């Protein structure tokens, strides 16, 4: 069965998509594993980061979730990264909760439609939306390993604790015993006393589950602006070294 890793934070702008895309590329290019990246965000940034234009049309994750006649292979797109495939998302995903409302098993639709992926891929990575609702619940029930990016700001500590509590609640309510938070990634890190104190508090709250902090990095930003992963754009940069360290921690956290 494929590893299923979800990157989740109820707050946007914390580097969630950056991590999801580059960790997916790490498994694909560095570990030579077959990886499926599933975007669930209405902004479609995972595709944009990989240089895939979803605005030109084509099927998306919304079609797979709402049309029983659509199969996984029909919505899967190749990327420029060898061994990495993408299921893109776009604005119509905002309609998913309404479209799925009548389905009594609506919280497990994503897990159901991705069942065939286990035979095709070694790793499935989810980029969840920056809010909690039916889509995020579907992600939690389709995944097993949760990675939470946390901005190194004071209020982010509360948000992280709430996200961990949500994971535990969903696991218990739906009988998903394998669901667990495996890694906390401090992001938007700057060399300030407060940022360092927040990282230390995270390490106290979540022993052995906090990775190296990910600070602002020009090479990472440039890679995204060119629709490339860090491994394609600047593989020897400090940003690439940092993302590889984080990806290796996630790899070992299984």
The predicted pLDDT at position 152 comes to: 86
Distance of CA 163 to the CA centre of its chain: 14
Are residues 46 and 102 in contact, defined by beta-carbon separation less than 8 angstroms? Answer: no
The predicted pLDDT at position 1 comes to: 86
Residue 80 three-state SS:
coil
Are residues 127 and 31 in contact, defined by beta-carbon separation less than 8 angstroms? Answer: no
* CA separation for the pair 200, 100 (Å, rounded): 42
Q: DSSP code of 70?
A: -
* CA separation for the pair 99, 62 (Å, rounded): 10
The string over 26-35, giving b where at least 16 C-beta atoms fall within 10 Å of a residue's C-beta and e elsewhere, is bbbbeeebbb
Say how many C-beta atoms besides its own lie within 10 A of residue 204's C-beta: 9
Q: Looking at the whole model, is its pTM more than 0.85? A: yes
The predicted pLDDT at position 158 comes to: 82
* CA separation for the pair 61, 75 (Å, rounded): 7
Mean of pLDDT over the chain: 93
* CA separation for the pair 106, 183 (Å, rounded): 27
* CA separation for the pair 251, 3 (Å, rounded): 10
Extract the residue ranges of the chain whose pLDDT is less than 70.
none
Residue 148 three-state SS:
strand
Residue owning tokens 């400090």: 238
The predicted pLDDT at position 131 comes to: 85
The predicted pLDDT at position 195 comes to: 85
* CA separation for the pair 210, 197 (Å, rounded): 13
Burial class (CB in 10 A: 0-12, 13-18, 19+), 121: buried
pLDDT digits (tens, 9 = 90+) for 77-123: 999 999 999 999 999 999 999 999 999 999 999 999 999 999 999 99
Residue 106 makes CB contacts below 8 A (sequence gap 6+) with: 100, 134, 138
The predicted pLDDT at position 154 comes to: 77
The predicted pLDDT at position 12 comes to: 72
pLDDT digits (tens, 9 = 90+) for 202-226: 999 899 999 989 888 999 999 999 9
Are residues 172 and 161 in contact, defined by beta-carbon separation less than 8 angstroms? Answer: no
Are residues 129 and 41 in contact, defined by beta-carbon separation less than 8 angstroms? Answer: yes
* CA separation for the pair 212, 229 (Å, rounded): 19
């Amino acid at each position: 069965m494929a590893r299923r890793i979800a990157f989740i934070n109820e707050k946007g702008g914390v580097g969630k998509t950056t991590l999801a895309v580059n960790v997916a590329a790490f498994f694909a290019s560095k570990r030579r594993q077959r990886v499926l990246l599933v975007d669930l965000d209405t902004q479609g940034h995972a595709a944009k980061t990989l240089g895939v234009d979803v605005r030109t049309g084509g099927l998306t994750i919304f079609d797979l979730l709402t049309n029983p006649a659509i199969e996984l292979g029909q919505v899967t797109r190749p990327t420029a990264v060898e061994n990495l495939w993408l299921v893109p998302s776009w604005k119509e995903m905002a309609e998913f909760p309404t479209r799925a409302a009548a389905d009594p098993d609506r919280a497990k639709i994503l897990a159901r439609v991705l069942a065939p992926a286990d035979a095709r891929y070694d790793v499935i990575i989810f980029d969840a939306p920056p809010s909690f609702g039916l889509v995020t619940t579907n992600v939690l029930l389709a995944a097993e390993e949760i990675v939470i990016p946390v901005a190194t700001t004071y209020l982010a500590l509360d948000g992280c604790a709430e996200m961990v509590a949500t994971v535990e609640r969903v696991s218990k309510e739906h009988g998903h015993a394998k669901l667990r938070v495996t890694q906390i990634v401090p992001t938007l890190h700057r060399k300030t006393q407060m940022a360092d104190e927040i990282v230390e508090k995270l390490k106290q709250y979540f022993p052995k589950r906090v990775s190296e902090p990910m600070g602002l990095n020009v090479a990472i930003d440039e890679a995204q602006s060119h629709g490339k992963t860090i491994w394609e754009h600047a593989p020897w940069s400090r940003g690439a070294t940092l993302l590889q360290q984080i990806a290796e921690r996630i790899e070992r956290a299984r």
